């Protein structure tokens, strides 16, 4: 890809550290391709469209974007602002380093393109400082400590980005309140329409699609605002419904489970006990005797 699109060959075949100034003369031969590495970028798109999966990239000023391997990228008539950077990281570069496992814990690699991180000026300055330190080490005469130092700078960028995303969630309190209200309404409609019996429990992916968000972003947004993930909220609604059925009908625990969309009644009982502290049978006995 480097040679085809006009990029200069990287100093390290498994790590690329580029500014937009470095690639301003490159031509993107392929408008669609599959990403083969992790990509961290601070992008400012002047014109054109960039698609990540099926979502259009949000090109507001100071947007950071994170992509993981094996994702489809589409670019059409892209023109970038000069003030930006891209870091390419081959997954194999992280082998035998803790970041190989922990990078998968940064949920924003699963966010959609329209859920980019929008940096405040001071935050952007922090990220650029870390990038320049990484770049300086990258182009220095690399020795046996260089890889450890460079991965350390990459990890710092990821940690600061997680912190800045938390700030972004806090700044979207009104949105969060709206989302939880819509989330609750969609769940209620799902229950009342008989979809539990027809299709089983609603998934986080289903709920997120109804809200035009990715599952990861929805869960992180709700977690920051309410302390519970999207799955937690689904389970909580199911348990409330289960309590109503147990208290108001003669349905057995198995019948209650099937009625709520569980194909496996023992799983329902375990979930109920985990949430309530007692089994469905114990719950019914405690309040009916």
Band (132; pLDDT cuts 50, 70, 90): very high
Of the given ranges (21-35, 161-175, 244-258), which has the lowest mean pLDDT?
Answer: 21-35
In this prediction, residue 63 carries a pLDDT of: 82
- At 67, give phi and psi (nearest 5°): -125, 145
Annotation: CATH topology of 15-170 = Jelly Rolls (2.60.120)
In this prediction, residue 115 carries a pLDDT of: 81
Judge whether 230 and 222 are in contact, CB under 8 Å.
Answer: yes
In this prediction, residue 153 carries a pLDDT of: 97
For 9, the 3-state DSSP assignment is coil
Residue 25 has pLDDT above 70, yes or no: no
Residue 53 has pLDDT above 50, yes or no: no
Handedness of CA 74, 91, 104, 39 (dihedral sign): negative
Residue 48 has pLDDT above 50, yes or no: no
Give the residue range(s) of CATH 1.10.10.60 domains in the chain.
173-288
Give the residue range(s) of CATH 2.60.120 domains in the chain.
15-170
Band (175; pLDDT cuts 50, 70, 90): low
The overall pTM is greater than 0.85:
no
Residue 65 has pLDDT above 90, yes or no: no
Judge whether 82 and 112 are in contact, CB under 8 Å.
Answer: no
CATH of 173-288, one of 1.10.287.110, 3.40.50.300, 1.10.1380.10, 1.10.10.60: 1.10.10.60
Residue 138 has pLDDT above 90, yes or no: yes
């Amino acid at each position: 890809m480097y040679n085809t699109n006009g990029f200069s060959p990287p100093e390290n075949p498994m790590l690329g550290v580029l500014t937009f100034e470095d690639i301003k003369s490159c031509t993107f031969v392929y408008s669609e391709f599959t990403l083969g590495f992790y990509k961290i970028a601070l992008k400012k798109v002047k014109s054109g469209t960039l698609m990540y999966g099926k979502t259009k990239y949000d090109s507001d000023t100071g947007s950071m974007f994170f992509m993981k391997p094996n994702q489809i990228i589409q670019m059409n008539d892209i023109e970038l602002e000069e003030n930006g950077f891209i870091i390419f990281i081959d997954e194999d570069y992280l082998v035998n380093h803790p970041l190989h496992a922990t990078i998968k814990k940064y949920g924003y690699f699963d966010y959609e393109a329209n859920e980019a991180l929008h940096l405040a000026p001071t935050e952007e300055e922090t990220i650029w400082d870390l990038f320049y330190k990484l770049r300086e080490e990258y182009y220095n005469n690399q020795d046996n400590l260089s890889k450890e130092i460079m991965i350390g700078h990459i990890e710092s960028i990821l940690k600061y980005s997680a912190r800045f995303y938390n700030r972004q969630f806090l700044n979207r309190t009104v949105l969060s309140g709206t989302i939880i209200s819509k989330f609750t309404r969609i769940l209620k409609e799902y229950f009342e329409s008989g979809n539990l019996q027809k299709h089983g429990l609603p998934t986080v992916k289903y709920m997120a699609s109804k809200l035009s968000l990715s599952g990861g972003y929805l869960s992180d947004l709700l977690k920051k605002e309410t302390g519970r993930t999207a799955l937690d909220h689904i389970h909580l609604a199911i348990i409330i419904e289960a309590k109503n059925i147990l208290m108001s009908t003669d349905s057995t625990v198995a019948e209650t489970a099937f009625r709520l969309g569980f194909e496996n009644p023992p799983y329902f009982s375990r979930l109920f006990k985990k949430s309530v502290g007692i089994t469905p049978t114990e719950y019914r006995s405690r309040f009916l005797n």
